[in-house]
Structure 1
């Protein structure tokens, strides 16, 4: 969560509505500051705003639009659409700025703002920093004329659907496939079922009745057990779960096994390698990527390069290294080469299911051969985030665990950039040892952090 000392976090701005920084008056100022920065940077004076299904979304959109328009920027409202649709449509409409109002996988009381530049990629760090600097200053009155609302000739939802389907034009039809689609009562609740119906699949839809309060509630990629049960009950070929803003994907194969982001990377990497299209034989992952994927890629003649958690770090490294594939276990998968600039759960699902259809193999066969190490992630509440080095009890427990794991495992402790949590990750060869180590660290962290709550 963003704190008063830091506005932009790992993935844009996030918080609890209507607290700072997501109060209406502050978001108006944010729109004013963003308008000034984008115009000074030479971006077109047109901003696109899309949102997920949270109750607070319309209020935040109105406040942001008011700030942008007061500074002379035209605004095109996309309505409820996935975050990756905002990225794609920002380029399509030639806008200077795209903003997705969403808190992704967070619960309904939270919300956030994700900014995209005219390229469709996340806003560069330098521009985020300039917006943060500007919004804290005394902003001068706006000039004339004020911005207008823009109404496109074709509904943005249809433009996005056509763009995604155009990238599936060479794939085999999903006719005769039975798919279960969990929309998480989120931003993709209309477009996700429609994409797969147009591809010929028989679609069984779960959690597509948003009421403003139920986004991600016991469903979607964060809570996939109901999807698994539905896949087995319906004897479906596959199930897919999205998160609240549609940029994460988790699949369930026909046997009920979960396929997370690491599994999806393995499936796509093996196919790209076979076709000679995995540039530099490299996949970009994060510090959370399972060691088993790294070893599997090495056995295939490829390598894994790790970056900090967050799709913006993955995208940056992919652009720097001219790589085409990257992602993280949470289900963010970035696949460059067809004009996609951000993680898109629907696009990833189309690519993986299209591969299964083209090769006439079930999902369970595509994911075979990847041995992932046992990994446990425990989320410890952390309303305050003191330096971990300043917590002696936790450091003592960490030293103990590292000795017990030796060379057969690894530990990662990191604060979430999107939620008030400390993430405790332990990975190793022995499942029981990993579980014990995670419990020891989580308990020590809980006691140490309780002092700061």
Structure 2
């Protein structure tokens, strides 16, 4: 069905034809290229690996583990784990790199390898290009029987991860425990089921888990969007819970649902947590260009500066480092707290949100009502074969040159009360169009207007 090799790793659908789908040959080829690149850098005494609970996870893990050890690389195998836990384990162990076996929010037929550097962060574009070059041009050399790598089980890294979160000064353990929150959790049959309850119970919450079997048979589309969380909303009302929590299969995205069963808003996870963090530690924030303006509003309220990065976690992290941001992330519910590690982490998001909710003293919906209620529309336009997308964006930039705009990732146009973002998809022949405005009608009108302008330029 699909195979995508990119600077951040490889992803695709399991089964099918090598080179067109994610098959054993493709998994071995890409793992071998990554391992060889690490050895060339002198940077791979050991590599940490971990996976989410999707059906193909064990099979992919076996191939990755065998390939690394065949290259003479030692492996620390975390088994069933989370993306942020693998990232932190690289640092805990002083490892040379990490590989996360997860297709994140993609459906169950997908899987992926995501590559981490020695800091436990996603590899840069330049490093990814070097790995792709090895895939294309070869140069792989496996070791003799006496030089094979060794495998060690991962130990208690999930507990270390949770403890590191609890130790953050902004996590108000006693305050949260005093509220005795009742929480419904939907970990969508994956790794969140073995991690999030431990954190919530430590914080004194009563936890009701739905879709808690770690079998990879996702009970619904695993992307934590409101339309996929109807069972969670119903369970919140049934149990008279204070809050609903949904995470994606690898636990780097966090979506919240209010006590009334209504979505807190995926874009507002980062907004609320940033609001809390900036009260404790004023400073700068970063999100990608397609994230809500509400983060900028909150940042300015606390006297900080807001900065936008190109779409993609590695780009957000680079910008956060450049501006010494206190917190950052993406509007998809991904929260990055540098004090913990430079990676999206739903677990730290949960602990900080509950700290804020406990301090706030009211309901989840009342907290949501304190933030601007922007409305976002996401759309796309199919592109004709061979179209010069850069030329189209340049013409639009000229048309809107008198508006505040950015070209670091497609074209982002900031109007006084709204914005538009157009960018070419990295995986499909389409232009992605995002708009945000104070009302849904205004956002839809912006998208409609720009679509007409783009189609006129294409014609």
Which of 242, 245, 253 aligns to 1:237? It is 242
- Confirm whether residue 434 of structure 1 aligns to residue 438 of structure 2: no
> What is the CA-CA distance between 1:253 and the residue it aligns to?
2.4
CA distance in 2 between partners of 1:424 and 1:366 (Å): 30
User: In the TM superposition, what are the counterparts of 1:11-410 in structure 2 within 5 Å?
Assistant: 11-18=8-15, 20=19, 22-144=22-144, 145-152=147-154, 154-167=155-168, 170-172=172-174, 173-174=176-177, 176-214=180-218, 217=221, 220-221=224-225, 223-275=228-280, 277-279=281-283, 282-337=284-339, 339-378=340-379, 387-388=388-389, 409-410=418-419
Q: Which residue of 1 aligns with 2:408?
A: none
Map Cα deviations across residues 303-334 of structure 1 (whole Å, 9 max, x no partner): 32111111211111111221121122110111
Q: Which residue of 1 aligns with 2:6?
A: 8
User: Residues 183 and 220 of structure 1 are in contact (CA less than 8 Å); yes or no, is this contact kept in structure 2?
Assistant: no
User: Residues 419 and 435 of structure 2 are in contact (CA less than 8 Å); yes or no, is this contact kept in structure 1?
Assistant: yes
CA distance in 2 between partners of 1:215 and 1:113 (Å): 23
CA distance in 2 between partners of 1:212 and 1:382 (Å): 35
Q: Secondary structure at the match of 1:327?
A: strand
How many pairs does the alignment contain? 435
- Confirm whether residue 425 of structure 1 aligns to residue 442 of structure 2: no
> What is the CA-CA distance between 1:352 and the residue it aligns to?
0.9
User: Residues 171 and 358 of structure 1 are in contact (CA less than 8 Å); yes or no, is this contact kept in structure 2?
Assistant: no
Q: Which residue of 1 aligns with 2:407?
A: none
User: Residues 90 and 97 of structure 1 are in contact (CA less than 8 Å); yes or no, is this contact kept in structure 2?
Assistant: yes
Q: Secondary structure at the match of 1:72?
A: coil
> What is the CA-CA distance between 1:234 and the residue it aligns to?
1.8
In structure 2, relative to structure 1, the CA distance for the partners of 1:366 and 1:406 (3 Å cut) is closer
CA distance in 2 between partners of 1:54 and 1:311 (Å): 22
CA distance in 1 between partners of 2:384 and 2:204 (Å): 47
CA distance in 2 between partners of 1:385 and 1:225 (Å): 41
TM-score, scaled to structure 2: 0.83
> What is the CA-CA distance between 1:186 and the residue it aligns to?
2.3
CA distance in 2 between partners of 1:387 and 1:182 (Å): 43
Q: Secondary structure at the match of 2:87?
A: helix
Q: Secondary structure at the match of 1:370?
A: coil
> What is the CA-CA distance between 1:263 and the residue it aligns to?
2.2
CA distance in 2 between partners of 1:406 and 1:344 (Å): 31
Q: Which residue of 1 aligns with 2:406?
A: none
CA distance in 2 between partners of 1:366 and 1:372 (Å): 12
CA distance in 1 between partners of 2:79 and 2:455 (Å): 40
> What is the CA-CA distance between 1:57 and the residue it aligns to?
1.7
Q: Which residue of 1 aligns with 2:422?
A: 413
User: Residues 293 and 371 of structure 1 are in contact (CA less than 8 Å); yes or no, is this contact kept in structure 2?
Assistant: no
User: Residues 262 and 327 of structure 1 are in contact (CA less than 8 Å); yes or no, is this contact kept in structure 2?
Assistant: no
CA distance in 2 between partners of 1:381 and 1:185 (Å): 34
CA distance in 1 between partners of 2:345 and 2:63 (Å): 27
User: Residues 10 and 30 of structure 2 are in contact (CA less than 8 Å); yes or no, is this contact kept in structure 1?
Assistant: no
CA distance in 2 between partners of 1:104 and 1:442 (Å): 30
CA distance in 2 between partners of 1:341 and 1:442 (Å): 36
C-alpha RMSD of matched pairs (Å): 3.5
Map Cα deviations across residues 391-411 of structure 1 (whole Å, 9 max, x no partner): 89x98xx99xx9xx9865432
